[in-house]
Amino acid sequence: MSRREVIFVVGPTAVGKSAFAVDLARKTDGEIVSADSMQVYRGLDKGTAKPTKIERETVPHHMIDIIDPWEEYSAAAYRDEAIEVIEDIFERGNTPIVCGGSGLYVHSLLYGLDFSGGAGDPALRESLVREAEDGGALLLYKKLEELDPDAALRIHPNNVKKVIRAIERVSGTLENQGVREFDESFAGAVDFETRVLRLTMERPKLYERIERRVDDFLAGGLEGEVRGLLAAGVPPGGTAMQGIGYKEIVKFFDGDIDYNEAVRLIKQNSRRYAKRQETWFKRYEQAEVIVVE
């Protein structure tokens, strides 16, 4: 193993990434760097599947509980801080193991966040990339179809990067200039070697695990946690409250849906998110696929 190799453990929610990464870290003098866009928030514990106390005591974990839930956080900020953490781990002579299912966070470490061309509105771009990750490429593409049907005809729905640039242009935040194909961004933007381990599982079994996990979140106090966060001043429309489980409970509190519907939506949205994660990580052709039984 190279001294400057970073191991990535990626895959859909509930596939068992955390346990796998902890076991791997024990064998490699590893330290885990979370790549989860919800685990960065303090106080979001019941619905984010953060590593257990035992796991954290067994192996050092980083990039968890680093900001307050009323703060905004970007993939660019994550990349800057995670790179510093990775360099510190190298300095200690240990192996950085990036573990998580937030595709944008993982991609930022593997390939950077260069969208090419001139700079647009950072706030708009960040909201669009989050929308692509949380809602899927097709949802974002439909937005472009509404804004600029002609541009949509020239862009493949799965070319997220180009769709985002087109939306930026039609929104008036970016000059009309060329955009590289998304695949061209797959050029190393880091000065360390990488090894990607993609965990996968038969879909019926994965969906069963997802539904059990949701039941565990609810039994463990997710509803009370959301109520406490709102009471503490966390805005219901803020980024921290857009995570699956949190946004549905907020809708329940607002009276938009009843409790049973909230539970149904959490499970449905979790399954859909897992499917999108698998689609995202399948693009990494260099990944070693590990089938979890």
Return the CATH number at 160.
Answer: 1.10.20.140
- Compute the mean pLDDT over every residue in the chain, rounded to the nearest whole number: 87
Q: Return the pLDDT at 125.
A: 78
Sheet holding 5-10, edge to edge: 61-62, 30-34, 95-99, 5-10, 193-200, 288-291
Final residue of a structural domain among 159, 185, 211: 185
Q: Determine, yes or no, domain membership for 211.
A: yes
For residues 47 and 171, membership in a common domain is answered with no
Query: Taking 60 as the threshold, does the pLDDT of residue 175 lie above it?
Result: no
- For the segment 90-115, the average pLDDT, to the nearest whole number, is 88
CATH number of the domain to which 246 belongs: 1.10.287.890
Tens digits of per-residue pLDDT, 21-33?
A: 999 999 999 999 9
For residues 128 and 177, membership in a common domain is answered with yes
Query: In 7-136, which residue ranges form alpha helices assigned H by DSSP?
Result: 17-28, 53-58, 75-91, 103-111, 122-135
Question: For residue 232, what are the domain limits?
Answer: 203-277
Q: Determine, yes or no, domain membership for 82.
A: yes
Q: Determine, yes or no, domain membership for 117.
A: no
**Contact (Cβ atoms closer than 8 angstroms) between residue 43 and residue 53:** no
Q: Determine, yes or no, domain membership for 95.
A: yes
Give the pLDDT band of residue 208 (cuts 50, 70, 90).
Answer: very high
For residues 253 and 150, membership in a common domain is answered with no
Give the pLDDT band of residue 148 (cuts 50, 70, 90).
Answer: confident
Q: Return the pLDDT at 225.
A: 98
% of the chain residues with pLDDT over 70? 88
For residues 81 and 71, membership in a common domain is answered with yes
For residues 150 and 235, membership in a common domain is answered with no
Distance from C-alpha of 70 to C-alpha of 37, rounded to nearest angstrom: 14
Q: Determine, yes or no, domain membership for 265.
A: yes
For residues 93 and 16, membership in a common domain is answered with yes
For residues 196 and 229, membership in a common domain is answered with no
Domain tally for the chain? 3
For residues 164 and 67, membership in a common domain is answered with no
Query: Taking 70 as the threshold, does the pLDDT of residue 229 lie above it?
Result: yes
Q: Determine, yes or no, domain membership for 70.
A: yes
For residues 56 and 180, membership in a common domain is answered with no
Q: Return the pLDDT at 214.
A: 98
For residues 235 and 214, membership in a common domain is answered with yes
Distance of CA 150 to the CA centre of its chain: 31
Query: In the chain, which residue ranges form alpha helices assigned H by DSSP?
Result: 17-28, 53-58, 75-91, 103-111, 122-135, 137-147, 149-153, 160-170, 203-219, 222-231, 246-254, 259-282
